[in-house]
Structure 1
Amino acid sequence: MAASSKKPYYEQISEQLIEQLKAGTAPFQKPWEPGTLMMPHNPVSGTRYRAGNAFWLSMQGRNDPRWMTYKQAQSIGAQVRRGESGTLVQYWKFEEKVPKKDAQGKPVLDKDGKKVMVTVRLDKPRCFSAIVFNAEQVDGLKPLEKKELAWDRHQRAEKIIRGSGVTILHDQADRAFYRPGTDSIHLPPRPQFPSADRYYHTALHEVGHASGHKSRLDRDLGGTFGSERYAKEELRAEIASLMIGERLEIGHDPGQHAAYVGSWIKALKDDPKEILRASKDAEQICEYVMSRELEKSVSVKPEPSLQKPVREPVKERELPQAEKTSEPTMEL
């Protein structure tokens, strides 16, 4: 997408995402092997792009995750190639630092005679835009360093799952889902997964859904399979899974998207701003899930091979997927 586009930022993202969804090339529709996915970041400022900006830049089809402004490239002795088009990103400023004032309205000074600054909430948020270029468009940069897979990625994932506060049951043959009514995650036994990375990706996807429980982030989890609310929650969980998979280096498994694509496209056409809300919520889900690594562990129920199998109610197990009962479950 050229930087000169006159369409609003959210429309640019929404329209391109719709085309990628139709083609099956959206970032979360593609499988990523452990350690190969790197979300967009700025190598000059050292910051990680967030929410809508992160998702938008990941949609650009670049193999290098580094993005920077023209001036930032110059500041490190690099140069954007002539004729290259940049990509628009936007930031919202909700607060700013201003000089602290005393009762007489005069600036308060510190012991060195400098103004003391305080952070205040803006009455009206301000929007700022910037044009950034991918490292593939810049000459003079060092090659992207290949990261070695983190040896402790599975241990970290296990800590997150155990610190999630959600009951984990390995009682399924070939399904994985979160059931809000019982605040429980249901998975197949670990040996049924082709790899530990795939197991943890699946489990953490469901932990992402569980973050929406009313006792946590309190999202709307009331939609039944096939409904618009269900599809919107799944969109948030998929984007969050992409982010979590990158942060933990466990990769990303796109799962079964065929049932959701039509609903996602409809939601984006009805309201192009939905992608910004979904990306913001996905960022919040990712941060919440990652923070569980620091929580105290809770017990995870033993695998069926170590305990008497838990049978799912027949009405849940035998109904076709499109005819599920009103008790919602968040499927992978």
Structure 2
Amino acid sequence: MNKLDIYEVVTQKIIDRLEAGVVPWQIPWRTKNGMPRNMTTNRPYTGINFWMLLCMPYTSPFYLTFDQARSLGGNIRKGEKATMVVFWKILESEDKNGELKKTPFLRYYNVFNLTQTEGIDEKKIPETEAFDHDFNSIAAADRIFYEWKDCPKIRWDDTHAYYSPSTDTICMPNQRSFFRDEYCYSTLYHEAVHSTGHRSRLGRHEKIKDHQFGNQDYSQEEIVAEMGAAYLCGITGIEQPTIENNAAYIKSWIRTFNDDPKVLVLAAAQAQNAVNYILNQKSEPSPTGSEE
């Protein structure tokens, strides 16, 4: 099967899952620092709160309100700034005609990271453990990066996955912290596609007008990266274990566009361009021989 066939097949599989309704996106790794959660309830943050807190420059995954910190015997350090999180749900009630009425209910909370507090007894801080398993590399997936001539630097053992344009570096959690080997490569592919937008490559990021988190330009780039990751998973034969999470991630960002299906068409074209760039930038033959 050639690349064009794979692009078409993978795109259709994602569309099928979007139409059928996909499960929420699951973080495919667990580092010791863990993912953002409320320290008092130990509940992980979801939706936009998850993404906002994940981007914060703190080493602890735990967040508390001012009152929660006080209830644990601590205080917020002087000069620290809060981060806003939102809570919303649909309230159902009957109107005067007996018809069901649905009203959005929205509340805002200010939270602080545990590292912004002082005086909280360490015994009250929940234990966090990284997931650990014997990582087995996948030759076809490794070959993508071995042959990529201007591949960005890849730095392992970070708390989460991201691409840094300023240093042209892909930062990744430790391979052993991923729940499956394929999830590690799918995540690495996602960040690799982001890196193709660098001005030294395809220059896609230069054309983005607004880089603010959560807006449509930002969301579009996330969909492109995940579509590209899905294509690379298909090309390297690891699509089956990863396709559900690919679709779930895309669904979480496509809502920014009111579920407009045309967004997926544009993202697919940009993702194909990014994947073609990665695959065509070969520096030397693979140690196991080239494959087309």
Q: Given the two structures, how large is their TM-score scaled by the length of structure 1?
A: 0.41
Q: Given the two structures, how large is their TM-score scaled by the length of structure 2?
A: 0.45
State which structure, 1 or 2, has the greater radius of gyration over its C-alpha atoms: 1
Looking at both structures, which has the greater relative contact order when contacts are Cα pairs under 8 Å and sequence separation is at least 6? Answer: 1
